[in-house]
Amino acid sequence: MPRKKGKSISFDAMVKFFMHTYDIPTKRDVDKIMARLERIEALVASVPAARVPAATRRPPVKVLPEEPEKSRVPGPKTLRPAWEAAVRMGVEMTLAPLV
> What confidence tens digit (pLDDT) does each residue in 21-52 have?
999 999 999 999 999 999 999 998 898 877 76
As a whole number, mean pLDDT of residues 13-22 equals 93
Across the chain, mean pLDDT equals 76
One-letter amino acid for residue 87 of the chain: V
Which pLDDT belongs to residue 49? 74
Q: How far is residue 56's CA from residue 54's CA, in Å, rounded to a whole number?
A: 5
Where would I find the H helices in the chain? 11-21, 27-46, 76-89
* Percentage of the chain modeled with pLDDT above 70: 56
Dist. CA 17–CA 94, nearest whole Å: 77
Closest CA to 97 of 81, 71, 77, 74: 74
- Checking if the pLDDT of 61 tops 80, the result is no
> Which amino acid is located at 32 in the chain?
K
CA distance 36 to 28: 12
Residue 57 three-state SS: coil
**Would you state the pLDDT for residue 96?**
57
